[in-house]
Chain A
Amino acid sequence: MMMRMMILVLLLCCISSAAPEETHDEHGGGHNITGIPIVTFKWHHVKPPYTVALWVLVCFLCKLLIEANHNVTNYIPESALLICFGFILGGMIWGADQVQTFKLTPTTFFFYLLPQIILDTGYSMPNKLFFTNLGAILVHAVIGTCWNAATLGLSLWGCHQAGAMGNIEIGLLQYLLYGSLMAAVDPVAVIAVFEQVHVNEVLFILVFGESLLNDGVTVVLFNVFDAFVSLGGGAIDAKEIVKGIVSFFVVAFGGSLLGTVFGLLVSLLSRCTKNIQIIEPGFIFVLGYLAYLTAEMLSLSSILSIVFCGVCCQKYMNANMDENSIQTVRYAMKVFANGSETIIFVFLGISAIDKTIWVWNTGFILLTLFFILIYRFIGVFILSWILNRTRLVPVTFVEQIIMGYGGLRGAVAYGLAVNLNETNIKEKNLMVCTTLIVVYFTVILQGVTMKPLVQWLNVKRATTTELTLVEKVQNKVFEHMLVGIEDISGQIGDNYWRNKWRNFEEKWMSRVLLKPSARKNQDRLFNVFHQLNLQDAMEYVKEGERRGSLDFIRNESAFVDFKKKLEEDYEEAMPDIMADMADDQNGASVMRRDPVPSISLEMHEQNMRGLREAEVINSHHLLDQHLYKGRKQHRYRFSRSHLDINQDENEVQEIFQRTMRSRLESFKSGKMGVAPPKTITKHTKREPQPKMPNGRNKNYHSGDEDFEFSEGDSASGYDTSFPMRVGYRAGAGIENPAFMPDLDPSSPLHIPPWLADAGLEVNQVAPSERAQMRTPGHLHRLASLRSRARSGETDQDLPPPPHRDDDHL
């Protein structure tokens, strides 16, 4: 398999490299044709797109090869391997051509490969985390990058003056220019390396945010110094320097503002695209790209622009768009971003094989490497020390080390280096060579050693558990508490501003940018209900099992499939690194829906000791995985390659039906409870029917009707059909051992809520709106089930439940 792949790749390279040698002279208009050609080989006709497509294919095949074996990628990050593949491919081309025919051109890179990566990062940016740490991120991005640039440039110049570099013609300005292009931490490289390391969220967002926002600084510095180099040293005076500083603000803020405008535009559009859901996903890509290009056109920071476009539009797009569109957008973004990244790294490798840039200057190269590392660490330590004096949660020393070590340079630096003007800068090739070497050093060496370093230093890793209900409620309480304390102590702090922003956003922006139906559903504690219902359902299943009524679930054939599926699903259900943040969403965000917390699942599991453990746990996992997921849930893992989504909708339906059936049966039997006790001992399907005296029929149906209402009346409707709860008091004459509240005091099972307080206020567990919406269908089924059961039919013949319009949930 591998051999075949290699041969294929080799072949492709040969074709693509041999292609330019062809000298075909056929054109459409024909000359010297002697007869009608049946088939002609029109290579030149298709050459440009064909080459591009072929190269994309080759890069993807490289990735295929790499990912074939996970053992390797555990130790060496994919990016490093891709670069190595690039070397090999470059070597092959070199062998064929003796000249470099393919390299990563800045145009290709900046216009066709970079935008989608940055759009993806912006769109999946954890907003709250990002903005909370924005101060620190900005300090590192702006001051840190300037520091890097200045120190690198000056030190290299100093060493040059000291003679360490031999005879090269680089002046101070050129050193500073070089420093500015080497200074920036590269977002592509950071993602590629940190993706596999899973450090804690704050650390990640600091490094990553810095790598994104420093583009503003890099662009300005590069342009300013480039202008200075072109103008010559004499033209620099105070006025120019001031202009440089002003241009920084214009570029950075202008870029961000432009991006925000585009983001709002996309959000507004998504509000109106109800009728063209099929191309709804396309808007974000087009507008994001336009944001990038517009910023480029106005010489503002294009990366900042596209980042803010993604950041602003996330929430509204996710609320407004159709489920399928949301999924499409996410997937497509990941595909493009991942694909681009692959291509970039492969070409970074290929670009090395070019004789013209093999200019070696020991001093220059080694000193650059050395200074980059040293000054990065020094810069991080100093800035962190300053920042820690004002941060609530300081960045620890170990984390600072990782931040320093994570200052990776990547393709952006290379792109800028290749853009250097050769006439002004005589040693451009040396600079390009050095840049490449630095990039390889950081991506390969630092990338490989990052993971062991993180483990060795015992850096706090990303949290992997979901929050419980208590924690979620508590977090809300804390938020309010902090705002209150700030108010009392009379100071305007973060919480005050956050509160203000939240109120503003809810009042004005949501009104404009969200669809009315989406606005209604921005339910603060929807997550809470979701969990609630899930736990509800689990209780019912447990109860039903105890009473032996879940026979159909324990039906082997159905069960086995789920079991298998569950095991592998559960492994993959690694919560995202932003699990902690999801609950703290500013009021109305439904961007992230947490699936069932595994913590509460564990607690229930502990309680199951008395029951048939495996089955029970399976059924819980079953529900956990498949039931009651409000919307298709995507976790915000910052990963290029993994996207966890909800499972098949049909399964959800089916399980739901089963549990609802059991639930209703238990309720019905409860209603009948006042009747002679001996009829309630075993709970089979047949049981309810004979006991249903006519007088009760009405009751049942009224319960039925109660279910068929609008959301508003849901709870009260359910209420009246629950008289049986009161009937289950101990000693009320019901013999069903399963329902005896004092059955087994030592049992580790915890008593379902409806039995918890016999005698206290009726402690109902109200089903979720969603459940109530669905029950009518099932009730119908159940009713017909009842009648059919008598005649011996099975439930397979029942019609499928009516399709509910779920889009407002």
Chain B
Amino acid sequence: MGSSRSSLRRVPDGQQLLQETGFSAAVLLRLHQRFQFLDKDSRGHLRSEDLEAELSENPMGDRIVGAFFQPGQETVDFPSFVRVLAHFRPTEKNRTRGGEQPEPANSRNRKLKFAFQLYDRDRDGKISRTELLQQVLREMLGLQVTEEQLQSIAERAIQEADLDRDHAICFDEFRKSLEKVNIDHKMSVRFLE
């Protein structure tokens, strides 16, 4: 792909996205092609059905899909698509940022925020027990676990992380509870070109 720069013009907001997300031009191009592939009716944006088709077996499928859409929106266009995927770029350790530069999408903080939003569907800034319980745990554990056990797990999990005793996990508590986890590793995907 020698002339990826020129092909980039076909991508909406190409240059800006390059800068914002840190993807290389080749990767961006491929993601654009993927976007067009998913967008079967060539509408220029994706609906949740298009994405869900790929994730039929995944217990977290609909949540992941939901994370692409801003609250209230039904469609996602290419820039938003790429911005979400940018969270999963592997972190570079040796980036030095100036003070005024916005935090890159794949920083640890942003990754954690993304994960947090997976749980916190109603975007109220807290993971309540019902959110954790009903949605995440049940989806993941499925039939192996009884209802009470699920509730107990949820309760325990919240208790572990809940430092201010409000029976919900806010973002700071969430981040603190995952201090020791290597987020860079666990939330990164190698994007191929």
Chain A: minimal CB distance from B160 (Å): 5
What per-residue 1/0 map shows which CB atoms of A525-548 lie under 8 Å from chain B? Answer: 100110110011000000000000
Q: Does A493 contact B55, Cβ atoms closer than 8 Å?
A: no
Q: Does B149 contact A756, Cβ atoms closer than 8 Å?
A: no
Query: Which residue, A463, A491, A757, has most C-beta atoms of chain B within 10 A?
Result: A491
What per-residue 1/0 map shows which CB atoms of A758-784 lie under 8 Å from chain B? Answer: 000001111000000000000000000
Q: Enumerate chain A residues within 8 angstroms of B182, measured Cβ to Cβ.
A: 393, 580
Q: Does A470 contact B178, Cβ atoms closer than 8 Å?
A: yes
Q: What is the bound-complex CA distance between A379 and B75, given in angstroms?
A: 51
Choice from B34, B148, B187 contacting A766 with Cβ under 8 Å:
B148
Q: Does A488 contact B51, Cβ atoms closer than 8 Å?
A: yes
Of the 9-residue stretches B13-21, B56-64, B97-105, which lies at the interface with chain A?
A: B56-64
Q: Does B148 contact A484, Cβ atoms closer than 8 Å?
A: no
B137 interfacial contact with A, CB 8 Å: yes
Chain B: minimal CB distance from A766 (Å): 4
Q: Does A756 contact B185, Cβ atoms closer than 8 Å?
A: no
B25 interfacial contact with A, CB 8 Å: no
A718 interfacial contact with B, CB 8 Å: yes
Q: Does A763 contact B151, Cβ atoms closer than 8 Å?
A: yes
Given contacts A753-B159, A766-B148, contact A473 B34 (CB under 8 A): no
Q: Does B152 contact A485, Cβ atoms closer than 8 Å?
A: no
Given contacts A468-B177, A484-B58, contact A495 B189 (CB under 8 A): yes
Given contacts A470-B157, A485-B85, A532-B152, contact A493 B192 (CB under 8 A): yes
Q: Does A477 contact B60, Cβ atoms closer than 8 Å?
A: yes
Q: What is the bound-complex CA distance between A523 and B144, given in angstroms?
A: 8
What per-residue 1/0 map shows which CB atoms of B176-193 lie under 8 Å from chain A? Answer: 011011101111111110
Choice from B145, B190, B192 contacting A392 with Cβ under 8 Å:
B190
Chain B: minimal CB distance from A596 (Å): 12
Q: What is the bound-complex CA distance between A614 and B155, given in angstroms?
A: 27
Within 8 A of A (CB), among B125-151: 136-137, 140-141, 144-149, 151
Choice from A489, A531, A714 contacting B85 with Cβ under 8 Å:
A489
Q: What is the bound-complex CA distance between A776 and B159, given in angstroms?
A: 29
What per-residue 1/0 map shows which CB atoms of A150-169 lie under 8 Å from chain B? Answer: 00000000000000000000
Q: What is the bound-complex CA distance between A244 and B161, given in angstroms?
A: 59
Q: Does A715 contact B147, Cβ atoms closer than 8 Å?
A: yes
Q: Does A493 contact B189, Cβ atoms closer than 8 Å?
A: yes
Q: Does A474 contact B181, Cβ atoms closer than 8 Å?
A: yes
Q: Does A714 contact B140, Cβ atoms closer than 8 Å?
A: no
Choice from B31, B153, B185 contacting A532 with Cβ under 8 Å:
B153
Q: Does A470 contact B148, Cβ atoms closer than 8 Å?
A: no
Q: What is the bound-complex CA distance between A10 and B115, given in angstroms?
A: 66
B90 interfacial contact with A, CB 8 Å: yes
Number of A-B contacts (CB under 8 A): 151
Q: Enumerate chain B residues within 8 angstroms of A580, measured Cβ to Cβ.
A: 182
Given contacts A490-B37, A524-B141, A766-B146, contact A481 B187 (CB under 8 A): yes
Q: What is the bound-complex CA distance between A489 and B55, given in angstroms?
A: 11
Q: Does A477 contact B140, Cβ atoms closer than 8 Å?
A: yes
Q: Enumerate chain A residues within 8 angstroms of B140, measured Cβ to Cβ.
A: 473, 476-477, 480
- Chain B interface mostly: helix
B54 interfacial contact with A, CB 8 Å: yes
B167 interfacial contact with A, CB 8 Å: yes
Given contacts A469-B156, A474-B115, A478-B187, contact A529 B149 (CB under 8 A): yes
Within 8 A of A (CB), among B3-28: none
B78 interfacial contact with A, CB 8 Å: no
Given contacts A525-B145, A715-B147, contact A750 B185 (CB under 8 A): no
Q: Enumerate chain A residues within 8 angstroms of B159, measured Cβ to Cβ.
A: 750, 753
Residue ID in chain B nearest A525 by CB atoms: B141
Q: Enumerate chain B residues within 8 angstroms of A467, measured Cβ to Cβ.
A: 180-181
Q: Enumerate chain A residues within 8 angstroms of B137, measured Cβ to Cβ.
A: 473
Residue ID in chain A nearest B51 by CB atoms: A488
Query: Which residue, A473, A495, A524, A765, has most C-beta atoms of chain B within 10 A?
Result: A473
Within 8 A of B (CB), among A484-521: 484-491, 493-495
Q: What is the bound-complex CA distance between A753 and B167, given in angstroms?
A: 10
Query: Which residue, B93, B152, B180, has most C-beta atoms of chain A within 10 A?
Result: B152
A793 interfacial contact with B, CB 8 Å: no
Residue ID in chain B nearest A761 by CB atoms: B151
Q: What is the bound-complex CA distance between A341 and B184, given in angstroms?
A: 39
B43 interfacial contact with A, CB 8 Å: no
Residue ID in chain A nearest B64 by CB atoms: A484
What per-residue 1/0 map shows which CB atoms of A706-731 lie under 8 Å from chain B? Answer: 00000000110011000000000000
Q: Enumerate chain B residues within 8 angstroms of A488, measured Cβ to Cβ.
A: 38, 51, 54-55, 64, 85
Choice from B60, B148, B157, B190 contacting A493 with Cβ under 8 Å:
B190
Chain B: minimal CB distance from A743 (Å): 14
Q: Does B165 contact A750, Cβ atoms closer than 8 Å?
A: yes
Q: Enumerate chain A residues within 8 angstroms of B180, measured Cβ to Cβ.
A: 463, 465, 467, 471, 599
Q: Does A600 contact B160, Cβ atoms closer than 8 Å?
A: yes
Q: Enumerate chain B residues within 8 angstroms of A481, measured Cβ to Cβ.
A: 60, 64, 115, 118, 187
Q: Does B190 contact A390, Cβ atoms closer than 8 Å?
A: yes
Chain A: minimal CB distance from B60 (Å): 4
Chain B: minimal CB distance from A124 (Å): 23
Query: Which residue, A481, A482, A524, A753, has most C-beta atoms of chain B within 10 A?
Result: A481
Given contacts A477-B60, A765-B155, contact A757 B167 (CB under 8 A): yes
Q: What is the bound-complex CA distance between A301 and B99, given in angstroms?
A: 57
What per-residue 1/0 map shows which CB atoms of A646-681 lie under 8 Å from chain B? Answer: 000000000000000000000000000000000000
Choice from B38, B58, B155, B178 contacting A474 with Cβ under 8 Å:
B178
What per-residue 1/0 map shows which CB atoms of A442-483 lie under 8 Å from chain B? Answer: 000000000000000000000101011111011111101111
Choice from A463, A474, A714 contacting B146 with Cβ under 8 Å:
A714
Within 8 A of B (CB), among A374-395: 390, 392-394
Residue ID in chain B nearest A752 by CB atoms: B159
Given contacts A524-B141, A528-B153, A715-B148, contact A489 B165 (CB under 8 A): no
Residue ID in chain A nearest B177 by CB atoms: A470
A603 interfacial contact with B, CB 8 Å: yes
Q: Does A763 contact B160, Cβ atoms closer than 8 Å?
A: no
Q: Enumerate chain A residues within 8 angstroms of B184, measured Cβ to Cβ.
A: 392-393
Chain A: minimal CB distance from B109 (Å): 16
The 21 listed contacts between A and B (C-beta, < 8 Å) are A392-B90, A470-B161, A471-B177, A473-B136, A473-B137, A473-B153, A473-B157, A474-B177, A474-B181, A480-B58, A480-B59, A484-B64, A485-B64, A488-B85, A489-B189, A491-B192, A715-B149, A750-B165, A757-B167, A763-B151, A763-B155
**16 extra A-B contacts, CB within 8 A, seeds A487-B54, A528-B153:** A467-B181, A469-B156, A471-B177, A471-B180, A473-B136, A474-B178, A474-B181, A478-B115, A478-B186, A481-B118, A484-B55, A486-B189, A488-B54, A599-B180, A719-B148, A763-B151
